[in-house]
Amino acid sequence: MILSLLAGDPQADKAVPPTGFTARLTLFTAGAMAFLAVFALALSTTTGRLAARWGEELARTSTLRISAPAGQVQLQTQAALRVLEETPGVADARALTADEQRQLLEPWFGPDLPVESLPVPQLIEIVEEGEGYDPAGLRARLSAEVPGAVLDDHAAWREPLVAAAGRLRLIGALSVALIFASMAAMITLAAQAALAANAQVIRVLRLVGARDVYIARAFVRRFTLRALTGAGAGTVAGLAAVLLLPRRDVAGGFLSGLGFEGAGWLWPVLIPPLAGIVAFFATRAAALRSLREQA
């Protein structure tokens, strides 16, 4: 239906005079909304990707803390490393050195902290492989063999990140939906203005036997093509702006990584046809409603 509409009927199109104001309004609206949609998509995919990566990185590692009397720490650490070596799903386990533990505490206590003389627990970094280990089983074994061991599988970190990622994706999708709804509303208003401005043309067309669908088609085709053109230009501008943003490896940080990766670049390509579909249905509904009211 949309393809046959785009092919058009040149004779029918000529029946409705070009309307400069509504044409410019539709082009501008579609362009601006497509530009915003590119950024909403970029934000959505970037945050989703970032949160997924954080979640994955945290999920691949975990920490074992040994809190024991000074004389027991070394023994319990050795026992814990033996248990971990035998645990399926654990690729590597190693005790952090005093320097590494000092670096971890440096943000809070400053440099030159005498870690060796303080009752700081010994930390063991666990790197997982495959499907990972069974945390419940590992905890049960550690409680029997290493009484001072506390396993942190990062679930407490991971869950809020996964939830945040889901919310960010939802907000991104909602933003895109709102952008297209706004586009539909603006195009509807522009179409209604065009129909009102062409009331005399519509009267003449009806007088000579034109059906509503014939009159509507002339308006719908114009607005669909304008929305496609405007959204195409807005998408290109949006993609150019995304490409011009500082790269993550140059500036670092979260916002400098805004953009698309791999197949993600295909998402913005969908914006112009989607804008055309939105314009098609918005104008068609507005035109048929206006024609009913003018009857």
Query: Is 205 a residue that touches another protein (CB under 8 A)?
Result: yes
Nearest approach, Cβ of residue 192 and another protein (Å): 19
Answer yes or no whether residue 206 interacts with another protein by CB under 8 A. Answer: yes
Span 58-77, contacts to another protein by CB under 8 A: none
Residue span binding another protein (CB under 8 A) among the ranges 13-21, 81-89, 142-150, 230-238: 13-21
Which of residues 15, 105, 189, 285 is near another protein by CB under 8 A? 15
In whole angstroms, the minimum distance from the beta carbon of 159 to another protein comes to 59
Chain residues 17-36 in contact with another protein, contact rule CB under 8 A = 17
- Rounded to a whole number of angstroms, the minimum distance from the CB of residue 9 to another protein is 8
By CB under 8 A, the count of residues binding another protein is 22
Residue 223 and residue 282: Cα distance in Å, rounded?
Answer: 9
Taking CB under 8 A as the criterion, the residue among 6, 118, 177, 204 binding another protein is: 204
Cα gap 242→107, rounded to integer Å: 35
- Determine which residue in the list 3, 200, 249, 293 makes contact with another protein, applying CB under 8 A: 200
Contact flag: residue 94 with another protein (CB under 8 A): no
Q: Does 211 bind another protein (CB under 8 A)?
A: yes
Exactly one of 2, 5, 8, 12 binds another protein (CB under 8 A); that residue is: 12
CB of 182 to another protein, least distance (A): 32
Q: How far is the CB of 293 from another protein (least distance, A)?
A: 12
The whole-angstrom separation of Cα 137 and Cα 140 is 5
In terms of CB distance, is 214 or 267 closer to another protein? 214
For position 117 contacting another protein by CB under 8 A, the verdict is: no
Nearest approach in angstroms of CB 1 to another protein is 17
CB closer to another protein, 215 vs 231: 215
CB 29 within 8 A of CB 230: yes
The contact mask relative to another protein for 212-251 (x = CB under 8 A, - = no) is: xxx-------------------------------------
Q: Min. distance of Cβ 234 from another protein in angstroms?
A: 30
216/201 Cα distance (integer angstroms): 12
Question: Residue 52 or 201: which CB sits closer to another protein?
Answer: 201
With CA atoms as reference, report the closest residue to 225 among 267, 187, 177, 178.
187
DSSP string for residues in the chain: -HHHHHH--HHHHHHS---HHHHHHHHHHHHHHHHHHHHHHHHHHHHHHHHHHHHHHHHHEEEEEE---TTTHHHHHHHHHHHHHHSTTEEEEEEPPHHHHHHHHHHHH-SS--GGGTTPPEEEEEEE-TT---HHHHHHHHHHH-TTEEEE-SHHHHHHHHHHHHHHHHHHHHHHHHHHHHHHHHHHHHHHHHHHHTHHHHHHHHHTT--HHHHHHHHHHHHHHHHHHHHHHHHHHHHHHHHHSPPHHHH-SSGGG-S--GGGGHHHHTHHHHHHHHHHHHHHHHHHHHHHHH-
> Under the rule (CB under 8 A), what is the footprint of another protein?
11-12, 14-15, 17, 200-201, 203-214, 291-292, 295
